[in-house]
Structure 1
Amino acid sequence: MVRSRSPAGWASHVHAVLVRCGINRLRYIDRVTGEPIRRYEHQAPGELLHVDVTKFGNIPDGGGHRYLGRHEGGKNSRTSAARAGLPRSSKHPRNGTAFVHTVLDDYSRIAYAEIHPDEKAVTAIAVLRRAVEWFSGQGISTKRVLSDNGSAYVSKAWAQACTDLHITAKRTRPYRPQTNGKIERFHRTLNDGWAYARFYGTDTARRDALPSWIHYYNHHRPHTAIGNQPPVSRLTNVPDQYN
């Protein structure tokens, strides 16, 4: 005769199974596939840089609907769209898109970011060149770069730029964005810590706030994956390391 478990007993049993499988926390599971996240980490700064682009709708003058509500935010959107000569065909017209090009060091989690009006190959290449130079200033020599299969990163121009920079270009497996999971996680942090962290009355105000937030992320924000230390703690002999 098999005894039936109490609700508390079943909960304890299920928890034990999830622990054994390594999926007892939501952060351990890929949000898209539901599969356990297989964590890996390179052994030194510069061994692998992750690159990607994340997009945000531009904020209309006066602020957007996220903080002001649909009525007031929609009115600001229509006014800003008219001022910029953009189409006003909808109740809540778009005011353009900000493409944030991001670069993240796999080992240290040190991040670099720029905002641009597009995600074309010529833009992505220019960002990569400046990022490699910036990382070099942090004492990081770039060896490899990992991207998704976006059009900019599969272009011949991107491949040639990587060759010119003496970098090995790698790409994620098709339809497996979790391969680039570290930078996807960084984008969620970017959303919460910068893009939607507070009210911005203009898009310019939000753009102007990005450099200081990136500095905070790199130099001061504890990172759980590296022992609750800021990314810069994994670098040595960096000027102004703890400022």
Structure 2
Amino acid sequence: MSHRNARLTIHGRRILVERVLAGRPVAHVAAEMGISRPTAHKWVRRWRAEGDPGLADRASRPHTTPHRTAPEVEARVCELRQTRKLGPARIGPILGLPASTVHRILTRHGLHRLAWLDRPTGQPIRHYERSRPGELVHVDIKKLGNIPDGGGHKVMDRRRAMGNKQATTDQRKSCKPVIGYNYIHSAVDDHSRLAYSEVLTDERQHTATAFWQRAHAFFHAHGITVERVLTDNGSCYKSKLFTQTLTAAGIAHKRIQPYRPQTNGKVERFNRTLVEEWAYLRPYTSNDERTAALADFLHTYNHHRCHTALGGHPPISRVNNDAGQYT
């Protein structure tokens, strides 16, 4: 692609060459086309040396960079970054380099963000995306504490919150009220990021299996044929019931390598969004109030919320349905 202010495209450069080869003076042709004589001579000279390929734009990158940091020094910078997780301000004094130089080296090698590195190994995290909806669906569970009727300690002082707990439940452990937990089961399509979630009371095999059957129906209703499901190594996902349910529907079940939650990263990132934009978005006065707000969050997430990984479009934009079907 030509520079946005360039006078000549490749087609215009061919016209320039043709007019010069026809015997017209280069200065006259340059004036007609609104360019300088040196520029006209440059394109004629390149065409004579390389032919039509010589009329294409070239990169502005210099052929040599004599002042660039030596490769062995750059390798040492990368090693300190990956093994000790040091930043430019600490690597610089060790190697006798300015912090700005270290930062440029890390940027050049894709190591300038620690979030982009696998913490145990220090290797850059490889981001991937399946090519079509349904090729892979990520499934996971997020555990959240229940909210006592009237509100918990996040919306009032702890003495009143404890009174609400005692009034809400009659279960006790060491004379203290036990309010319990909710388990948010979620399924996220790898390609479109279309998400489905439910608030359930446990994470047992029958609960997880029943959730998947409803999630499968959700994706099917959106025209998505699920081919594979990826989960962690939780006991409910390792059960025969869960695997057999997937197999009966013609779906392959994959589990991540132990202690590698990054493999299931898309649903892990969705869990973080779920917490920030739903569970802790505002102070809820009861567990039922928070649960009721989940449906509105999911609709906004799937149909209206801009997703940075999708170029600012919502997940529904990648689902193969008629345009304008969803509002």
Q: Pairwise mapping of residues 1-243 of structure 1 onto structure 2 (< 5 A)?
A: 10-30=98-118, 36-80=124-168, 84-87=169-172, 89=174, 93-237=177-321, 241-243=325-327
The offset of 1:70, in angstroms, is 2.9
The offset of 1:19, in angstroms, is 1.6
CA distance, structure 2, for counterparts of residue 32 and residue 230 of structure 1: 33
CA distance, structure 2, for counterparts of residue 90 and residue 25 of structure 1: 47
Count residues in correspondence: 233
TM-score (norm 1): 0.88
CA distance, structure 1, for counterparts of residue 215 and residue 285 of structure 2: 29
Structure number with larger C-alpha Rg = 2
The offset of 1:110, in angstroms, is 0.3
SS at match of 2:182: strand
The offset of 1:33, in angstroms, is 7.0
Unmatched tracts of structure 2, length 5 or more? 1-91
SS at match of 2:236: coil
Unmatched tracts of structure 1, length 5 or more? none
Instruction: Summarize the Cα distance change of 1:113–1:43 in structure 2 as closer, same or farther, 3 Å threshold.
Output: same
The one-letter code matched in structure 2 to 1:208 is: A
Q: For the aligned residues, what is the CA RMSD?
A: 2.2
The offset of 1:30, in angstroms, is 5.0
Q: Is the 8 A contact 1:147 1:171 kept in 2?
A: yes
Identity over the aligned pairs, expressed in percent? 49
CA distance, structure 2, for counterparts of residue 104 and residue 185 of structure 1: 10
CA distance, structure 2, for counterparts of residue 207 and residue 86 of structure 1: 21
The one-letter code matched in structure 1 to 2:201 is: P
The one-letter code matched in structure 2 to 1:202 is: S
Give the number of the structure with larger relative contact order, counting CA–CA contacts within 8 Å between residues 6 or more apart: 1
CA distance, structure 2, for counterparts of residue 201 and residue 51 of structure 1: 29
The one-letter code matched in structure 2 to 1:70 is: R
SS at match of 2:186: strand
The offset of 1:125, in angstroms, is 0.8
TM-score (norm 2): 0.66
The offset of 1:69, in angstroms, is 3.9
SS at match of 1:218: helix
CA distance, structure 2, for counterparts of residue 224 and residue 73 of structure 1: 38
Q: Is the 8 A contact 1:138 1:238 kept in 2?
A: no
SS at match of 1:55: strand
SS at match of 2:98: helix
The one-letter code matched in structure 1 to 2:217 is: E
